[in-house]
Amino acid sequence: MVVGIPTEITPNETRVALIPATVKELVKKGFVVNIQASAGGGSFISDEEYIESGANIISTASELFASSDLVLKVNLPEMNNQEGKHEVELMKTGSAFISFIQTTKDLDEVKRLQNKKITAFSMHLVPRTTLAQKMDALSSQSNIAGYKAVLIGASHIAKYMPLLMTAAGTIKPSKTLVIGAGVAGLQAIATAKRLGAQVSAFDVRPVVKEQVESLGAKFVEVVSDSDDGVGEGGYAKETSDEYKQKQAELLKEHIGNSDLVITTALIPGRPAPKIITKEMVDGMKGGSAIMDLASENGGNCEYTQPGKVIDHNGITIDGSFNIPGTMPIHASQVYAKNISALVMYLCPDGELKLDMDDEIVSGSLFTHNGEITNERTKEALGGVA
């Protein structure tokens, strides 16, 4: 089975789907691995390193896609202007594909894959179970995003992060508020604490309170008798209007007192909830900052401009995309481990085997033989598969 790794064409993408160490693992299992020339350049991996690991270097995208039984990418398939064709057009009919495609959002690409009868899997759909932990790329990339968001946020604010005792007097620690205590949020809390900030965290799921407090942060809690906000598989879900009102009142006070706010609230397959209103931002002090890690799905702040860093009355609002891509060496390392673990699971004997009774296989698969197999994706397409 030939595995192909094309060069990522999304602007400013530095990550790559396989690194030399994972290429070696796949070659050892009997796979042929083809890498497009310079595919690892953004992660500081040379073509020579890939060759030494057992891969073949292919000069063009069209040749790479045409020779691949399984294509591995970081991003969704896109229009390749150099080739003058969409990447799905370049794929072999009936071949397989894995990437970070959001199947309820990237509907045009899903339909292209369906029409080309591609067997396609999304890293976004890999179930969060113990067995699938090695394949959980959402968590590995979120971990990096949470860490780097604090460092970037610390450079945006007009203050020190830690408490300092100086000859010129005592400098109080900055106050950091983390909204959303998932993988990214918990890493942000830990990193902000290591920098010496005074950290608080908010999440709609009361169950994360213990984790937040174990990292030394204060848990900001909306008192509620129901399980509002607790969704399947440990994810957050949409909350009631009554809960949102209580949440808004509580957050307004904490955001107004914070120097750095980091938002990480994402609901799978949905636009990011607008947790920080314009009124809340207008109540912040000059020199403070918001790092909006949900900007890819529209952002958690009403002022966020996805993909941009803006100044609003002296408050920096950072909606930059692809924070993990600012740390490409480790981001590619963990993503490559995640995606190769999934490939090994799907192809135990070097060939793709689809056991639809297996929750990892059926959970991550969304198109096969010209049919949409994922229910949420089917609903997003209007139920027409």
**C-alpha angle 357-359-362 in degrees, rounded to nearest 5:** 75
* Cα–Cα distance measured from residue 385 to residue 373, given in angstroms and rounded to the nearest whole number: 9
Annotated active-site residue in 59, 133, 214, 240: 133
Residue closest to 1 by CA, chosen among 50, 62, 61, 68 = 68
What tokens appear for 107 in the block? Answer: 């509907």
**DSSP-based three-state secondary structure for 285:** coil
The end-to-end CA distance of the chain, in Å, is 29
235 is a catalytic site residue: yes
Annotated active-site residue in 235, 243, 305, 362: 235
To the nearest 10 degrees (0 to 180), the angle between helices 328-346 and 20-28 is 20
Annotated active-site residue in 67, 139, 211, 224: 139
Neighbour count for residue 54 (Cβ, 10 Å): 16
- In the chain the beta strands, taken as DSSP E runs, fall at 2-5, 32-36, 56-58, 70-72, 79-80, 85-86, 96-99, 119-122, 164-166, 169-171, 175-179, 198-202, 218-220, 260-263, 289-292, 309-312, 315-318, 365-368, 371-372
Distance set, CA 216 to CA 158, 171, 190, 197 (Å): 24, 20, 8, 11
Annotated active-site residue in 106, 114, 136, 198: 136
| CA-based torsion, 32, 4, 323, 11: positive or negative | positive
Annotated active-site residue in 47, 67, 69, 128: 128
The residues carrying an active-site annotation are: 128, 133, 136, 139, 235
